[in-house]
């Protein structure tokens, strides 16, 4: 009987248990055919706080902790020398969830034995010119890899125009969502409404979830809401630099706006279930456009209708399960919001389609199966 293939997946984000969901699902879906190990740093200085490696008993994927250096600077982060051993002990394929232009991505490529195929995942959907040594790191990783995974259609479109990418096998696999944690739950939503002083009775609740920053489209959404003639309520969940401006605007809206900050990821399903529809009005800038839109897939999984802009990857994330609107057209947003607010039937139809799309396109077993199928293709080419 043939032994299971040994997969080692490497990422600094694996320091957080939640981010190891992909690796654990790979182990579950590939059970009997794949043996999955995770390499994660013992410590990483996160954007908000320092993070010690989190662990959970009974994880399907084996976790190997290694030292990490320079985590204050994500582009310069490096794994400790233990990484070499982790990549050289009977490994059949190495997966790097590190961008190819960062030092950690180049380090994984350098330490992966020549006989072992390397596949990396990337989410870069903007065309950029990297200064030395990051440009050289990208060329080295692309030239060393046996294949690459794009996090979306716009990522692949962008990267196929860069040197080396087109000559390597590639596929598109989006981010996953837990469709058991994120699911329709009216009671959970009602508890959030009571927390903010509302009940389900009343005008529909228009929701926003994400960073309070201009590029996420808050000014557009506030303007569209002000022009609505149909009764509405709005729930904003998140945090960021625009919070004072948002609170000042909310104070002028009477009792129809609530703001929730400090919402943990564990509470996000409850908050989404308090919404009758979600708005994702992201705005493209010269330095940024939406890479996926995790709030969209999570809302889909909760059966919440979504209106979203056409920034970056959003139209591909949405498919035909929601309404895609021009990102800078306030009048179009006002009209679309009015139509949904006035049509419970239309909201129910979109809720059904959104839940179906979450299960068929973004659920973790589907995402893991897509990864393993691509790994099989890479190994077959070898």
Q: Which domains does the chain have, with CATH numbers?
A: 5-176+363-381 (3.40.50.2000), 186-361 (3.40.50.2000)
Instruction: Provide the pLDDT for residue 363.
Output: 98
The DSSP code sequence of 88-136 is TSS-SEEEE-S-TTSHHHHHHHHHS-TTS-EEEEE---S---PPTTHHH
Return the number of other C-beta atoms located less than 10 Å from residue 31's C-beta: 12
Low-confidence ranges of the chain (pLDDT < 70): 1, 47-48
Instruction: Provide the pLDDT for residue 46.
Output: 72
The whole-angstrom separation of Cα 275 and Cα 361 is 22
> Radius of gyration of the chain from Cα atoms?
22
3-state secondary structure of 301: helix
Instruction: Provide the pLDDT for residue 1.
Output: 58
The whole-angstrom separation of Cα 107 and Cα 304 is 42
Return the number of other C-beta atoms located less than 10 Å from residue 239's C-beta: 17
DSSP code for 18: G
Q: Which residue has the tokens 């030239």?
A: 143
Angle at CA of residue 217, ends 215 and 219, nearest 5°: 110
The torsion angles phi and psi of 60, rounded to 5 degrees, stand at -65, -35
The whole-angstrom separation of Cα 55 and Cα 28 is 17
3-state secondary structure of 298: helix
Q: Is 314 exposed, middle or buried (0-12, 13-18, 19+ CB in 10 A)?
A: buried
Which pTM does this prediction carry? 0.94
- For the chain, what's the residue count? 382
Instruction: Provide the pLDDT for residue 382.
Output: 76
How does pLDDT run across 86-128, given as a tens digit for each residue? 998 889 999 999 999 999 999 999 999 999 999 999 999 999 9
**Omega before 25 cis (within 30°)?**
no
Helix axis angle, 344-357 relative to 294-301, nearest 10°? 110
Instruction: Provide the pLDDT for residue 48.
Output: 63
The whole-angstrom separation of Cα 7 and Cα 12 is 17
């Amino acid at each position: 009987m043939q032994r299971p293939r040994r997969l080692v997946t490497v990422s600094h984000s694996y320091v957080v248990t939640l981010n190891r969901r992909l690796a654990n699902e790979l182990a579950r879906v590939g059970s009997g055919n794949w043996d999955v190990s995770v390499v994660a740093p013992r410590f990483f200085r996160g954007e908000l706080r320092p993070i010690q490696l989190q662990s959970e008993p009974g994880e399907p994927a084996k976790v190997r902790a290694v030292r990490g250096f320079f985590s204050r600077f994500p582009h310069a982060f490096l794994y400790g020398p233990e990484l070499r051993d982790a990549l050289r002990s009977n490994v059949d394929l190495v997966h790097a969830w590190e961008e190819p232009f960062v030092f950690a991505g180049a380090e994984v490529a350098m330490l992966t034995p020549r006989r072992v195929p390397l596949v990396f995942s990337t989410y870069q959907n903007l065309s950029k010119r990297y200064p030395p040594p990051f440009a050289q790191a990208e060329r080295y990783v692309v030239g060393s890899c046996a294949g690459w995974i794009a996090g979306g259609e716009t990522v692949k479109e962008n990267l196929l125009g860069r040197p080396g990418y087109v000559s390597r096998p590639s596929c598109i696999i989006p981010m996953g969502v837990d469709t058991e944690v994120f699911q329709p739950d009216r009671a959970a939503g009602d508890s959030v409404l009571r927390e903010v002083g509302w009940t389900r009775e009343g005008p529909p609740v228009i929701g926003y979830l994400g960073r309070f920053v201009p590029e996420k489209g808050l000014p557009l959404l506030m303007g569209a809401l002000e022009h609505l003639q149909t009764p509405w309520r709005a729930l904003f969940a998140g945090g960021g630099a625009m919070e004072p401006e948002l609170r000042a605007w909310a104070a002028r809206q009477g009792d129809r706006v609530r703001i929730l900050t400090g919402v943990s990821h564990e509470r996000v399903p409850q908050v989404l279930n308090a919404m009758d529809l979600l708005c994702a009005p992201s705005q493209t800038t010269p330095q940024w456009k939406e890479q996926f839109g995790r709030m969209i897939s999570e809302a889909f999984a909760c059966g919440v209708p979504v209106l979203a802009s056409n920034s970056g990857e959003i139209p591909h994330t949405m498919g035909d399960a929601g309404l895609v609107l021009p990102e800078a057209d306030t009048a179009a947003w006002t009209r679309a919001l009015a139509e949904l607010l006035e049509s419970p039937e239309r909201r129910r139809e979109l809720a059904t389609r959104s839940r179906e799309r979450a299960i068929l396109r973004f659920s973790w077993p589907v995402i893991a199966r897509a990864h393993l199928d691509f790994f099989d293709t890479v190994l077959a080419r070898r």
